[in-house]
Structure 1
Amino acid sequence: MKIGFDNEKYLTMQSEHIRERINQFDNKLYLEFGGKLFDDYHAARVLPGFAPDSKLRLLKQLSDQAEIVIVISARDIEKNKVRGDLGITYDSDVLRLMDSFGDNGLYVGSVVITQYSGQESAQLFKNRLENLGIRVYIHYNIAGYPSNIPLIVSDDGYGKNEYIETSRPLVIVTAPGPGSGKMATCLSQLYHEHKRGIHAGYAKFETFPIWNLPLKHPVNLAYEAATADLNDINMIDPFHLEAYGKTTVNYNRDVEIFPVLNTIFEKIYGKSPYKSPTDMGVNMAGNCICNDEACREASRQEIVRRYFASLNSLVQGTSSEEEAQKIEILMNQANVTVQDRKVVEKARERSEETQGPAAALELDDGRLITGKTTNLLGASAALLLNVIKELAGIDHELHVISPESIEPIQKLKVDYLKSKNPRLHTDEVLIALSASAANSSLARKALEQLPKLDGCQAHTSVMLSDVDIKTFKKLGVQLTCEAVYETDHIYH
């Protein structure tokens, strides 16, 4: 994949811009940090060259000035809300985030439980954190939020929330996921700081949509596809256009809430520091694109991947038909079809030839490799072996794992672990390959090719198990699947 984004320029420019914003206020800035901090793979896919840990590296550059406040909604704790990408609950992710920040030398000052109205599960989580020595603050529901501004900006509104004690000029407010109450936490702090005579500031750090790219640029369309379940819509920022005569891009929720925010700022400060939602942002990503066409193509491919993901979710009953339809419209706007994803047609052709599940992968140089289902291997496991043999220059007729070593694993699965599927999954075939590498130079050579799969495209003719999906993800393979179950069983 061609590089389209200058990551080092981004880190330098972004950190400088945040420091400038801190200096605009009384050396106190509450920065609402949206998106994923440690593993922003969406940004890495649509801006090739963007490192998934760029935001973390950015924070490390600011570590001497920054402290982190993690926000979680009491409602999400009560519902046991789960992060789809990690499969863990939001309250567990708070602990994961704290460990990850600490391991990277970043200071986490406290946790805030928002939208609290006496939920027992939230109180238990608060007790658990405090027993671990973590400071916890409670923020409450405010009747009529966000429209009842006289109540919100009063001692019975923001004033009722516990004041978060912070010690550094830059306060990063982050959360396990959207809807946690990051913005409300920041605004509540502005109210409390103002009462203490401190003119603190607020800014927002969201990578997407990129404000200084065109509205229908594929990078921005890919963001709409990624948030189709939230029904986010990119739009021209009318407040910025009116104030400055410049066309910039924001999204509907920020544009809709801005008049309310502006009034809140005026109530707190006497005058709003911002004239538009775009003004509130500090994102410099658009200035660091070094190959626009590479980013356009990467984003078009991302939209197709999101389309297949939405079809899979629809079949699994976890999303609506409207979500898939919205992404289909975005595909039309980006002038891309599923045929533009080469591995799709190749996997379909192989499946038709073999009358069974099949898979295809595109290597960096454009070669297309396929895999089919056999008595020993599932299609995705067979694909992995075929790909690494191709990369290692090993004849496809040669075995890098002997069939004799696979049979005991199948016996373990079926006879002892009571699995109904004797075929090896991707993780099992890689373990078998690793074991073979101890005595086989061919197996060792094949195993050494795995890092080359990072960034490759793959498609399967059926939906895969969670195990196989996670294996491809760990290898960095960008996977899509047909929205078809491998069997006609009702329970999957």
Structure 2
Amino acid sequence: MKFGFDNNKYLNMQSEHIKERIGQFGDKLYLEFGGKLFDDYHASRVLPGFEPDSKLRMLMQLSEQAEIIIAINAADIEKNKIRHDLGITYDVDVFRLIQSFTDKGLYVGSVVITQYSGQKSADVFKTKLETLGICVYRHYIIDGYPSNIPFIVSDEGYGRNDYIETKKPLVIITAPGPGSGKMATCLSQLYHENKRGVKAGYAKFETFPVWNLPLKHPVNLAYEAATADLNDVNMIDPFHLEAYGTTTVNYNRDVEVFPVLSAIFEEIYGECPYKSPTDMGVNMAGFCIIDDEVCREASMQEILRRYYQALLRLAKDTGSKDEIYKIELILKQAKITTEKRPVIKAANELVEQKGSPCAALQLEDGTIITGKTTNLLGSSAALLLNAVKALGEIPHDVHLIAPSAIEPIQKLKTYYLGSKNPRLHTDEVLIALSTCAATDPNAQIALEQLPKLKGCEAHTSVILSDVDMKIFKKLGVHLTCEPLYEENKIYH
């Protein structure tokens, strides 16, 4: 795989820049962390070479100076809001985050429940955390927020919120997802710290959009595609342009809220330490791109993947047409068509020839591998077997799994477990392959090729089962699907 991003340079540069920002304010820095602290697969896809846990590793370099506060909106607890990438609710994800940070040796100081107005579910959540020895604080809904600055910056506004006790000079504010109240938590703490005579500052760490790349650079357009359902829009930072005469990129919510932030800073400190939203950021990712063309190509692929994901959500009645329209506009701006993704054409052309569901995968060297649905295998399972054969230089007509070995599995599925689909899914095929590898050298060679599928592009002509999608994800294959079910049924 070609790299376009220097991850080691990023880790060193980012941690040093954050240290400099701590020193700018004196005693303490509240750093709002946007996006994912770990498992940042979007960044790793659009910036090849970026490791999904890079931000976490960077924080581990600062572990002696840092502590973490996790913010969660009481309304999200009340309505059981779900993280769709993990399939768990925000409150459950708080426990996951605490455990993950603790396992890495990072100190989680507390949890803050924002937008609290007496929700019973939030009280139950607070009790669960406190039973585990975790400090929990409450921040309340403030009337007139964010416009009524004099009231917000008063004892009846921020002053009513619990003061969060912190011990370290760098306080990371993170959350299960957007809308959790990270920025409001930071500003409330600045108010309380100032009342206590502590010199505290605020900064924001948001990987995307990359502020020192052009507005319509594919990396930034890929971020817009990723957040199409949130109506985020990248834009030139007008405040930075006016203050410095330099063009930088930010996104609409930060630009819109900056006058309010500036006014709040002035109320607390007498002056605002920043002249623009870009000034508030500490992201160094743009300085660590070592091959712009590689990152452009990767980002174009990501935009197409996001488009097909939006089509898939609409087919499953969990998305919207507006999201699709927005990504279609991004495709036009980037001058991208589906021809940019060869596996789409390969899978769909095979369907026309075979008349059954098909799949295609592009290996690192550009070779296209295909698979079709048979009586024994689903198209995605056949695709995986054909791919590992090609990678292991095993003749196509060699059976890695004998039909006689597949038939008992089919009987188990249909006769004993009541499944209506006798064909093997990807997980069942891989288990069968690993069993055969104990006695068949070809199967063992094929099994050893699986890591080489990481980073490959794949497309299927129908919507896959959740099981198959998860297997492709675990293998690191970048999958898209046509928004069509294999069978025309009311319930799937």
2:27 maps to 27
2:322 maps to 322
CA distance, structure 2, for counterparts of residue 22 and residue 245 of structure 1: 26
1:457 maps to 457
CA distance, structure 1, for counterparts of residue 131 and residue 408 of structure 2: 47
- Identify the range of structure 1 (452-461 vs 36-45) with the bigger mean alpha-carbon deviation: 36-45
CA distance, structure 1, for counterparts of residue 49 and residue 411 of structure 2: 45
CA contact (8 A) 2:308 2:483 kept: yes
1:137 maps to 137
Letter in 1 for 2:311: L
1:2 maps to 2
Look up the SS of the partner of 1:52 in the other structure. coil
CA contact (8 A) 2:27 2:198 kept: no
Q: Confirm or deny that 1:184 pairs with 2:194.
A: no
CA distance, structure 2, for counterparts of residue 95 and residue 313 of structure 1: 28
1:302 maps to 302
2:175 maps to 175
CA distance, structure 2, for counterparts of residue 36 and residue 469 of structure 1: 22
Letter in 1 for 2:81: K
CA distance, structure 2, for counterparts of residue 130 and residue 437 of structure 1: 50
1:153 maps to 153
2:382 maps to 382
- Identify the range of structure 1 (347-356 vs 434-443) with the bigger mean alpha-carbon deviation: 434-443
CA distance, structure 2, for counterparts of residue 187 and residue 421 of structure 1: 55
CA distance, structure 1, for counterparts of residue 306 and residue 363 of structure 2: 21
CA distance, structure 2, for counterparts of residue 84 and residue 266 of structure 1: 39
Deviations 1:108-153 (A, max 9, x none): 1111111111111111111111111111111111112111212211
Task: Tell me how far 1:351 sits from its aligned partner.
Answer: 1.2
CA distance, structure 1, for counterparts of residue 209 and residue 440 of structure 2: 50
Look up the SS of the partner of 1:176 in the other structure. coil
Deviations 1:303-352 (A, max 9, x none): 11111111111111111111111111111111110111000000001111
Letter in 2 for 1:306: R
2:96 maps to 96
> TM-score under structure 2 normalisation?
0.99
Look up the SS of the partner of 1:232 in the other structure. coil
CA contact (8 A) 2:15 2:61 kept: yes
Task: Tell me how far 1:27 sits from its aligned partner.
Answer: 2.6
1:57 maps to 57
Look up the SS of the partner of 2:229 in the other structure. coil
Task: Tell me how far 1:444 sits from its aligned partner.
Answer: 1.2
Look up the SS of the partner of 2:25 in the other structure. coil
Task: Tell me how far 1:26 sits from its aligned partner.
Answer: 2.1
CA distance, structure 2, for counterparts of residue 417 and residue 153 of structure 1: 63
5 Å matches for 1:248-259?
248-259=248-259
1:78 maps to 78
Task: Tell me how far 1:2 sits from its aligned partner.
Answer: 2.0
CA distance, structure 1, for counterparts of residue 412 and residue 182 of structure 2: 49
Look up the SS of the partner of 2:202 in the other structure. strand
2:205 maps to 205
1:336 maps to 336
Look up the SS of the partner of 1:380 in the other structure. helix
CA distance, structure 1, for counterparts of residue 241 and residue 450 of structure 2: 49
CA distance, structure 2, for counterparts of residue 462 and residue 250 of structure 1: 37
2:39 maps to 39
5 Å matches for 1:234-383?
234-383=234-383
Letter in 2 for 1:304: L
Look up the SS of the partner of 2:228 in the other structure. coil
CA distance, structure 1, for counterparts of residue 279 and residue 324 of structure 2: 33
Letter in 2 for 1:473: K
Deviations 1:329-385 (A, max 9, x none): 111111110111000000001111110110000000000000000111110011001
Look up the SS of the partner of 1:24 in the other structure. helix
5 Å matches for 1:413-428?
413-428=413-428
CA distance, structure 1, for counterparts of residue 451 and residue 6 of structure 2: 22
Letter in 1 for 2:273: P
Deviations 1:6-57 (A, max 9, x none): 1111111100000000001123000000111111111111111111111011
Letter in 2 for 1:389: K
Structure 2 alignment gaps of length 5 or more: none
Task: Tell me how far 1:202 sits from its aligned partner.
Answer: 0.4
Letter in 2 for 1:44: S
Percent identity among equivalent residues? Answer: 73
CA distance, structure 1, for counterparts of residue 80 and residue 321 of structure 2: 25
Task: Tell me how far 1:434 sits from its aligned partner.
Answer: 1.3
CA RMSD of aligned residues (A): 0.8
Task: Tell me how far 1:104 sits from its aligned partner.
Answer: 0.8
2:441 maps to 441
CA distance, structure 2, for counterparts of residue 407 and residue 80 of structure 1: 43
Moved >2 Å (runs of 4+)? none
Letter in 1 for 2:198: I
Letter in 2 for 1:279: D
Equivalent pairs, count: 492
2:229 maps to 229
